[in-house]
Amino acid sequence: MYVGRFAPSPSGPLHLGSLVVAVASFLDARAAGGRWLVRIEDIDTPRSVAGADKLILQQLSALGMTWDGDVWYQSERLAAYEHAFETLQAKGLVYPCGCTRREIADSVLAAHGRLPDGERPYPGTCRDGLAPGRKPKSWRFRVLPDTVRFHDRWCGDQAQCVAEQVGDFVIRRADGIWAYQLAVVVDDAEQGITDIVRGQDLLSSTARQRALAQALELPTPSVMHLPLVTDGQGLKLSKQNGAPAIDTNNPLKTLVSAWQYLGLGDLSASNLEQFWGEATARWAGHFYE
């Protein structure tokens, strides 16, 4: 039985970029005859905006996107993350790290002569124990040297050696907050998620999440990572760069503009019900036949 989910962070109302993800995950679940869950990822409390969760749920309802079951909130799931952390700890797979960002950048620079673009793999400074006098700040997951391979339903076959490209990564941050990577793996497993549909900005997190799931002996959902909606300068639309909230006064127009980003051709719907009927059939024809 298919179980999908939409997992917005409540840092503001939905914009076109997050709506495209919501629409695609909803269509994928409905086309598969499955369930579609909504999970509010409010674990990063400094970035959560009060009331944004309610606003997002209202926006989804106004567009005719009804979710199954209760909405989960990550802020209510801290005991589950603690439990997973303890499981990893008992297996010797976590260790405290005393490094600051600055020190990590300096040691990567010393080892490579330059700072690579994008992600800087953690050089493993605290892997064999904290240097004397060092205080633990964050906690890292001890990554195995294997290459993680998976198939992405949009992007095709993927492979990432997490040890080389990311290094041991943080699962509990220096501010005490559980890292997104740990929370998402624990929640996806506990909610029985079989299929993840989300934006391509998270494609590079998938190998990390699979590595964690494997260490926790949890199943790994199938994944589909959608192209990101970008602004005129090629930047991902985001709340941080001021993407406007979607217009729910004109739901059909808003849905049609999100649909166009999925590249599955035009629809002739003239009301919400027709839109969902046609869009679900088109999605099913493309991905399930």
* Cβ neighbours of 27 (radius 10 Å): 26
CB of 76 to ligand GLU, least distance (A): 16
Q: Which of 163, 182, 184, 215 binds ligand GLU (CB under 6 A)?
A: 184
- Residue 139's closest CA among 214, 84, 218? 84
Q: Which of 15, 35, 198, 208 binds ligand GLU (CB under 6 A)?
A: 198
Q: Which of 24, 32, 38, 41 binds ligand GLU (CB under 6 A)?
A: 41
CA 33 to each of CA 154, 193, 218, 283, 284: distance values in angstroms, whole numbers, following the listed order: 20, 14, 24, 12, 10
CB of 281 to ligand GLU, least distance (A): 25
Contact at 8 Å (CB) between 138 and 85?
Answer: no
CB of 165 to ligand GLU, least distance (A): 19
Size of the chain in residues: 289
CB of 229 to ligand GLU, least distance (A): 13
What span, in angstroms and rounded, lies between the C-alpha atoms of 196 and 186? 14
- In the bound state with ligand GLU, the residue whose beta carbon lies nearer, of 9 and 125, is 9
CB of 90 to ligand GLU, least distance (A): 26
- In the bound state with ligand GLU, the residue whose beta carbon lies nearer, of 7 and 88, is 7
Q: Hey, is 4 helix, strand or coil?
A: strand
Q: Which residue has the tokens 């109302």?
A: 13
CB of 258 to ligand GLU, least distance (A): 16
CB of 286 to ligand GLU, least distance (A): 21
What span, in angstroms and rounded, lies between the C-alpha atoms of 151 and 143? 21
Contact at 8 Å (CB) between 184 and 7?
Answer: yes
- In the bound state with ligand GLU, the residue whose beta carbon lies nearer, of 125 and 181, is 181
Residue 212 binding ligand GLU, by CB under 6 A: no
Instruction: Please tell me the count of residues contacting ligand GLU according to CB under 6 A.
Output: 7
Residue 7 binding ligand GLU, by CB under 6 A: yes
- In the bound state with ligand GLU, the residue whose beta carbon lies nearer, of 87 and 238, is 238
Distance of CA 279 to the CA centre of its chain: 24
Residue 8 binding ligand GLU, by CB under 6 A: yes
Site stretch for ligand GLU (CB under 6 A), options 7-15, 94-102, 116-124, 137-145? 7-15
Q: Hey, is 3 helix, strand or coil?
A: strand
What span, in angstroms and rounded, lies between the C-alpha atoms of 51 and 114? 43
Token couple for 26: 């909803």
CB of 41 to ligand GLU, least distance (A): 4
**Order of strands, edge to edge, in the sheet holding 138-141?**
94-97, 138-141, 169-172
Site stretch for ligand GLU (CB under 6 A), options 2-10, 93-101, 215-223, 281-289? 2-10
* Cβ neighbours of 186 (radius 10 Å): 24
Contact at 8 Å (CB) between 200 and 236?
Answer: no
Site stretch for ligand GLU (CB under 6 A), options 4-12, 106-114, 146-154, 169-177? 4-12
Residues within the interface to ligand GLU (CB under 6 A): 7-9, 41, 184, 198, 202
